[in-house]
Structure 1
Amino acid sequence: MSASERYVRAWEGFWAESTGEQGEPFWDADATLTAAPHTALFADHVDRTLPIVDLGCGNGTQTRYLAGQFPRAVGVDLSASAVAHARRADRDAVAEYEQLDLTDLAGVKRLAGRLGEANVYVRAVLHQSDPVDRVPVAAAVALLLGRRGRGFVVEPTAAAKTVLQQVAERPGGPPERLRQVRKHDLRPAEVAAGEVPELLRGAGLEILDEGESDLAMSERHPDGTRVELPARWFVVAAAGSGRAGD
């Protein structure tokens, strides 16, 4: 199968109209607020000699950070325009980028074959996927991990909707970053409670660790504080592949 036509059109339309500049998208906070603390959360579980794949890399903000933490970093995205932005922004070519539909499991297997076992970083991808696409996206994570890889998956919780509603209902209307999300029919925070761990376990993954955190956005509230979405994170591995340090 492949991602729905609506989903492909929405994301390609968004990135085609974007300049690709860091911070322009609503969710594109600096890596020091995102990938850096996330990497620390799964540091005790991960084999840093393995490469890492950033799923849904967008313009590559997080991928470039991850490239400094692992011997090889590959960012993949459904949108060709997003991949083009990521390559342009990576002036020192510290990472690699390629277009990949995560629901195309044959394509995912080809990437896994080239990389070997890898770690995986998934920041707020499942909640943006159409419901029919979430099972294959979780399966893609499992395919890339193999036995030795570890994955970090973080997704907004239902409480994120309240925060997004507050941002949308500001006097004068929603900020431009959020207007772009709505214009292109991107649909945040639509994963039901308990769905993420169910998807992960259904893909043959074991949850090694989990917890709550806030996902930093690039947008700020009128008082200057950063918009943060309540989220839950999971460290995963192939079921039965061993705990941290094994």
Structure 2
Amino acid sequence: MSASEQQVSAWEGYWAENTGEPGGPFWDADPQQSAVPHLALLAPYVDRTLPIVDLGCGNGTQTRHLARHFPRAIGVDLAHAAVAHARREDRDGVAEFEQLDLADPLAVARLGARLGGANVYQRAVLHQSDPADRAAVAAAVRPLLGRRGRGFVIEPTAAARPVMARVAARPGGPPERLLQVRRHRMSPAALAPGELPALLRGAGLDVLAEGECGLAMAERHPDGTPVTLPAHWFVVAPGE
């Protein structure tokens, strides 16, 4: 199994159009509003001697921050164009980046075998995956964890939809960041209520902690505050 041609084409097209600069994509929040609070939630459970894998890393903004806190940080993305942006923006060479189709279990297993166990950071990836691929994308977390790894998974909830609708309905039309997403036929905040925990359980993961929080975007409201989507987060471990 692998991601659909439509999904691959959409993401390659999106990243080819985007500059890849930090803050350029709609969701590319400053790490201080994203990876930093997420690591605080993961911290009580994580073994920091293990590497960390950033699933769906995009242009690598969060990966580069994660590299400050783990001996090795690897960002992976479906789109070759995203990986090219991430490598270019990593001017200090603090992280590693490679193309990986999370819906391809053999490719994921090969990465897991190479690492021998790692922590995982998955920020708002599943809701943008093709519905037919979501189970496989969720299942990608388990073989990367090995025995000692822990994962942090966060996704917008259904309550994010009205927030997105307000952004789209601004006087003068939707902001360019959102138009870029729409041009490539992406559908943000598409997970159904209860779908995420079911996906995690189906992937053979144990939930160690969970909660609600805001998921900051790079886009800002007219008053200058970040667009923040209601989200549900989980800390997960390999199931027995």
Q: If the length of structure 2 is used for normalisation, what is the TM-score?
A: 0.99
| Partner in structure 1 of residue 84 of structure 2 | 84
What is aligned with 1:189? 189
The whole-number CA distance in structure 2 between the counterparts of 1:179 and 1:81 is 19
Match in the other structure for 2:13 = 13
SS of structure 1 residue aligned to 2:69: coil
Q: How does 1:9-88 map to 2 (within 5 A)?
A: 9-88=9-88
Q: Aligned partner of 1:26: which letter? A: F
Runs of at least 5 residues in structure 1 that lack an aligned partner in the other structure? 241-246
Offset from partner CA, 1:12-35 (integer Å, 9 cap, x none)? 000011111110100001111101
The alpha carbon displacement at 1:40 in A equals 0.5
Q: Name the Cα RMSD after superposition.
A: 0.6
Shift of 1:215: 0.6
Other-structure match for 1:169: 169
Partners of 1:123 and 1:93 in 2: how far apart? 22
Three-state SS of the structure 2 residue aligned to 1:117 is coil
Please give the secondary structure, in 2, of the residue aligned with 1:32.
helix
Q: Does 1:150 align with 2:150?
A: yes
1:226 Cα deviation after fit:
1.1
2:234 — aligned with what?
234
Secondary structure of 2:191 counterpart: coil
Q: Distance in 1 between matches of 2:144 and 2:34?
A: 22
The offset of 1:147, in angstroms, is 1.6
Match of 1:114 in 2: 114
Q: In the TM superposition, what is the alpha-carbon distance from 1:224 to its structure 2 partner?
A: 1.5
Shift of 1:113: 1.0
CA deviation digits over 1:160-216, x for unaligned, max 9?
Answer: 000000000001100000000101111111110111110001111000000011010
Measure the CA separation in 1 of the matches of 2:169 and 2:36.
31
Distance across 2 between alignment mates of 1:91 and 1:102: 26
Q: Distance in 1 between matches of 2:157 and 2:8?
A: 24
Measured in 1, the distance between the counterparts of 2:203 and 2:146 equals: 12
Shift of 1:144: 0.4
Q: Which amino acid aligns with 2:169?
A: E
Q: Distance in 1 between matches of 2:136 and 2:204?
A: 12
1:43 shift after superposition: 0.1
Amino acid at match of 1:183: R
**C-alpha deviation, 1:229, in angstroms:** 0.3
Structure 2 residue matching 1:42: 3-state secondary structure: helix
Q: Distance in 2 between matches of 1:129 and 1:202?
A: 16
Deviations 1:86-145 (A, max 9, x none): 000001110000000001111111111111100000000000001110111111101101
Name the SS for the 1:43 alignment partner: helix
CA positional deviation for 1:146: 1.6
Q: Could you tell me which residue of structure 2 aligns to residue 225 of structure 1?
A: 225
Q: Which runs of 5+ in 2 are unaligned?
A: none
Distance in 2 separating the partners of 1:19 and 1:32: 21
Q: TM-score, normalised by structure 1?
A: 0.97
Q: Measure, in 2, the Cα distance between the counterparts of 1:72 and 1:125.
A: 21
AA in 2 matched with 1:189: A
